[in-house]
């Protein structure tokens, strides 16, 4: 069988609800690699929060971070990195506009530097993963460069209203996604970016055609990836919209849904 590119989202897909990779799924991925296939990660997380899983699987492929805003090869310094940022004036406009909504916090990330508008211990626990530099205070004062992403934490009932505002006012310069439960967070990246953009770049470099890409996901930041892949697979725990466009729906992230599909489709022994 010709080599396939296996693309894995992390949270809710490769990772169980306990944020681990099950032994069965890890073993299946290893078998797939031994039989000539390639495995890569495409996640909304920054690299510092995905590196542990990249290393655990022993990957030797590029990785898509920040939903496509940062595509790089951890093991190959000469590989042409892609890093697309949001214009700082646009960021400041968005933050100004957010003052009219009941938001809880705003966070900007510049690669591994984190800028947090308001002090929040729970968010510090999340964004502190990988030991980044964290600056707290008015982002409009502290942020001096274009960020990789901007996150808005809001009251649940305000998320859709904020997203409509972003779509009406800033649609030509930014794209935005909603995090999965229990976080009511809107993630903003530069317009035109998503996981499929990064994956297509990697697939071209690896000379693997679209029809030999198998991608797994569960949330709305996986929509373009699942649509783009030759075989787009929605996890059993995925949102309904993703299931509706997927080629296949597998078992949940807690039931080794990835392993099931790979063993069947790639005839892994």
Give DSSP secondary structure letters for 139-153.
HHHH--S--SEEEEE
* Exposure string for 24-40, b = 16+ CB within 10 A, e = fewer: ebbebbebbbeeebbbb
- For the chain, helix, strand, coil in percent to 5 are 40, 25, 40
Give the bridge partners for 134, in sequence order.
114
The 5-8 sheet, strands edge to edge: 38-41, 5-8, 213-217, 231-234, 248-249
Question: Rounded to whole angstroms, how far apart are CA atoms 161 and 249?
Answer: 31
pLDDT for the residue numbered 82? 94
Q: Range with the lowest mean pLDDT among 26-30, 158-162, 247-251, 252-256?
A: 158-162
pLDDT at position 128: 72
The CA distance from 113 to 180, in Å, is 23
Active site residues: 9
Instruction: Say what the pLDDT of residue 130 is.
Output: 75
- Which domains occur in the chain, in start order? 5-82+193-265 (3.40.50.1000), 88-190 (3.30.1240.10)
Whether the predicted pLDDT of 131 surpasses 70? yes
pLDDT score recorded for residue 169: 85
**Cα R_g (the chain), whole angstroms:** 18
Summarised one tens digit per residue, pLDDT across range 198-232 is 999 999 999 999 999 999 999 989 999 999 999 99
Residue 242 pLDDT class (50, 70, 90 cuts): very high
Global pTM reads 0.92
Where residue 175 falls among pLDDT bands split at 50, 70, 90?
Answer: confident
pLDDT of 22 strictly over 90? yes
- Angle, to 10 degrees, between the axis of helix 257-265 and the axis of helix 23-34? 30
Q: Is the dihedral of CA 10, 171, 156, 48 positive or negative?
A: positive
| Cβ contact 68:80 at 8 Å | no
CA separation for the pair 189, 151 (Å, rounded): 9
CA-based nearest residue to 46, from 104, 107, 95, 106: 107
* Span 253-259, average pLDDT: 98
């Amino acid at each position: 069988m010709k080599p396939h590119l296996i693309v894995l989202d992390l949270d809710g897909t490769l990772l169980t609800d306990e944020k681990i990779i099950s032994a069965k799924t890890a073993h299946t991925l290893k078998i797939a690699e031994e039989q000539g296939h390639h495995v890569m990660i495409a996640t909304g997380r920054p690299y510092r929060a995905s590196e542990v899983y990249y290393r655990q699987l022993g990957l030797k492929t590029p990785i898509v971070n920040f939903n496509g805003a940062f595509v790089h090869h951890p093991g190959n310094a000469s590989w042409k990195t892609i890093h697309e940022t949001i214009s700082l004036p646009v960021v400041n406009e968005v933050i100004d506009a957010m003052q009219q909504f009941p938001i809880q916090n705003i966070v900007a990330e510049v690669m591994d530097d984190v800028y947090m508008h308001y002090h929040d211990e729970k968010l510090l626990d999340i964004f502190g993963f990988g030991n980044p530099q964290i600056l707290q205070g008015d982002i409009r004062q502290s942020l001096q460069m274009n960020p990789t992403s901007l996150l808005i934490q809001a009251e649940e009932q305000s998320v859709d209203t904020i997203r409509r505002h972003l779509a009406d006012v800033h649609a030509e310069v930014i794209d935005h996604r909603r995090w999965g439960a229990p976080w009511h967070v809107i993630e903003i990246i530069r317009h035109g970016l998503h996981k499929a953009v990064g994956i297509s770049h990697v697939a071209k470099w690896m000379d693997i055609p679209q029809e030999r890409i198998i991608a797994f996901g569960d949330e709305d930041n996986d929509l373009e990836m699942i649509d783009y892949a030759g075989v787009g697979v929605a996890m059993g725990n995925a949102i309904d919209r993703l299931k509706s466009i997927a080629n296949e729906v597998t078992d949940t992230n807690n039931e080794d849904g990835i392993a099931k599909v790979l063993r069947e489709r790639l005839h892994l022994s």
